[in-house]
């Protein structure tokens, strides 16, 4: 019985590296894929931070006010420009909801 175990071990031992090598190669490949994806994620985070900073600059109230004055020729509403009076507006009716 021991003779069969020794013969099996002699046959299996040289074949073991052949089975382990593809697993090692796949793991190495996956590790490089993970590193590349982590780098891509970091690059996207930097891009998001840049876009947030740009959005904060573009939506500054003083900047928008200046652009509105230059491009749209907007001015504050004066009472004289109103074509109706507050009294002419209809009253808002409230809807009763039953629950």
For every residue of 65-84, DSSP letters joined together read: HHHIIIII------GGG-SS
On whether the CB atoms of residues 63 and 57 are closer than 8 A, the answer is yes
pLDDT of residue 39: 98
* Mean pLDDT taken over the chain: 86
Give CA separation, 70 vs 56, 58, 75, in Å.
20, 15, 10
Range among 51-60, 68-77, 83-92 with highest mean pLDDT value: 51-60
pLDDT of residue 22: 87
Tens-digit pLDDT profile for residues 14-41: 888 888 888 888 999 999 999 999 999 9
| Ramachandran quadrant class, 26 (left: phi over 0; alpha: psi -120 to 50; beta: rest) | alpha
Mean pLDDT of 59-77: 84
């Amino acid at each position: 019985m021991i003779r069969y175990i020794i013969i099996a071990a002699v046959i299996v031992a040289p074949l073991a590296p052949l089975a382990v090598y593809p697993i090692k190669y796949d793991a190495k490949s996956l590790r490089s894929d993970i590193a590349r994806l982590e780098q891509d994620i970091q690059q996207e985070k930097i891009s998001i931070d840049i876009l947030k900073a740009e959005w904060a600059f573009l939506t500054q109230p003083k900047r928008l006010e200046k652009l509105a004055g230059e491009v749209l020729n907007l001015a504050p509403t004066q009472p004289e420009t109103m074509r109706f009076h507050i009294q002419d507006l209809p009253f808002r009716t409230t809807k009763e909801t039953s629950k």
